[in-house]
Amino acid sequence: MQSAAIDVVITNRRGRARRYAVVLAVLLALVAAIFAVTLSIGKTITPPAEVLRVLLGEAVPGADFSVGQLRLPRAVLSVLAGLCFGLGGVAFQVMLRNPLASPDIIGITSGAGAAAVFAIVVLSMSGPMVSVFAIVAGLGVAMLVYGLSFHNGVAGTRLILVGIGVSAMLQSVIAYILQSAPAWSLQEAMRWLTGSVNGAQLDQALPLLLALLVFGGLLVSRSRDLDALRLGDDMAAALGTRVAQTRMLVIIAAVGLIASATAATGPIAFVAFLSGPIAGRIVKNDGSLLIPSALTGAVLVLAADYIGQHLLPGRYPVGVVTGALGAPYLIYLIIRVNRIGGTL
């Protein structure tokens, strides 16, 4: 009898591990597939063999420019930004146990965006300094929102409402700076309003990759503590998680990811917000949401950019497509949370 029950426990656990591995493999394959499509099928179709030769650094007449200079930087930046947004978003959502607590809803993305626009337009900065500036501003906004909503501990709802207010304010700062910069092209302006990977350069990828390794690594090393936080702060503490310390590290790491990605591509609308809940639907409770959500973010950005570039009449920046996807989900979520008080 004893052994029958323990078999259920073991089967249950193995089932979770197996399903989790399958989910990761499928998401990875999906990222790879859309990446490959982005490289080879655009206005013109480049055969995979030629794409490979370009990637290996050979000079291929005709494909050199379209694949190496246009599509590759775009795809690489999409993947990296998607990973950063997905990871940073889900970290906040899990930590605060509320899908609405995503950095793009509570003002952190707009903070980083406003700082980046300010740095570029007013201070004429460029390159990695813009990222640093955006990270500092993102952390500042996070602390501001956290501080304003602090009252006998932080209640999720208050933090979200304060964040939405702060976010609206920062959006108008972005709009104001863009307005007062006469030489600003519509293309560039769109980047800071909805996010775009137009005009991507490979050298933009390096700071993003670095942020992903440092901040992403930090988050993943804390994934078990984040998982414990889903049971409530008290329960997590009872299980030996240092709640305050974990929360601080998670905020720093997630803001680092979001701000770095925002500095590179602008605030690609709703990717941080959507990735976690989508990953949550797929993973259920089979394992940590961090990596599945990061991969989902990459899928979203790659796919949305491809749709915006090639499948719609006209060309739209990636943020327009993700925005169109995210808005209905936001409405659905608000209705659902209202009705059943659902969590992630």
Partner 1 sequence: MTDHLLAASGLSAGYKNIEILHGLDLTVPPGKITVIVGANACGKSTFLRTISRLIAPTAGQVLLDGKSIHRMPSRDLARTLGLLPQSPIAPEGITVADLVSRGRHPHQSLFSRWTRQDDEAVDSALSATKTSDLAERPVDELSGGQRQRVWIAMALAQQTDILLLDEPTTFLDINHQIEVLDLLIDLNHTRGTTVVMVLHDLNLAARYADHLVALASGHVHISGTPEAVLTEETVRQVFGLESRVITDPISGRPIMLPIGRHRIANPQQQEKRA
Helix (H) or strand (E) holding 51: helix 48-55
Report in angstroms how near the CB of residue 97 gets to partner 1 at its nearest. Answer: 7
Q: Phi and psi of 102, rounded to 5°?
A: -80, 150
CA 5 centroid distance within chain: 41
When the beta carbons of 69 and 223 are compared against partner 1, the nearer one is: 223
- Residues 145, 106: contact at Cβ < 8 Å? yes
Helix (H) or strand (E) holding 152: none
| Candidate segments 9-17, 28-36, 53-61, 330-338, binder of partner 1 by CB under 8 A | 9-17
When the beta carbons of 314 and 341 are compared against partner 1, the nearer one is: 341
User: Please, which of residues 137-196 interact with partner 1 by CB under 8 A?
Assistant: 152
Under rule CB under 8 A, residue 338 binds partner 1:
no
Under rule CB under 8 A, residue 341 binds partner 1:
no
Distance (Å, rounded) from C-alpha 275 to C-alpha 260? 17
Report in angstroms how near the CB of residue 302 gets to partner 1 at its nearest. Answer: 28
Report in angstroms how near the CB of residue 41 gets to partner 1 at its nearest. Answer: 38
Under rule CB under 8 A, residue 70 binds partner 1:
no
Under rule CB under 8 A, residue 126 binds partner 1:
no
Under rule CB under 8 A, residue 310 binds partner 1:
no
When the beta carbons of 102 and 246 are compared against partner 1, the nearer one is: 246
User: Please, which of residues 285-304 interact with partner 1 by CB under 8 A?
Assistant: 285
- Residues 250, 91: contact at Cβ < 8 Å? yes
Using CB under 8 A, which of 32, 176, 224, 327 touches partner 1? Answer: 224
Structure-token match 């936001």, residue found: 330
Helix (H) or strand (E) holding 239: none
Short-list 255, 244, 256, CA closest to 142:
255
- Residues 63, 69: contact at Cβ < 8 Å? no
Structure-token match 């307005």, residue found: 179
- List C-alpha distances in Å: 305 to 65, 112, 195, 199: 19, 22, 10, 13
When the beta carbons of 24 and 307 are compared against partner 1, the nearer one is: 24
For binding to partner 1 (CB under 8 A), which residues are involved?
2, 5-6, 8-10, 12-13, 16, 97, 152, 221, 223-224, 227-228, 230-232, 234-235, 237-242, 284-285, 342-344
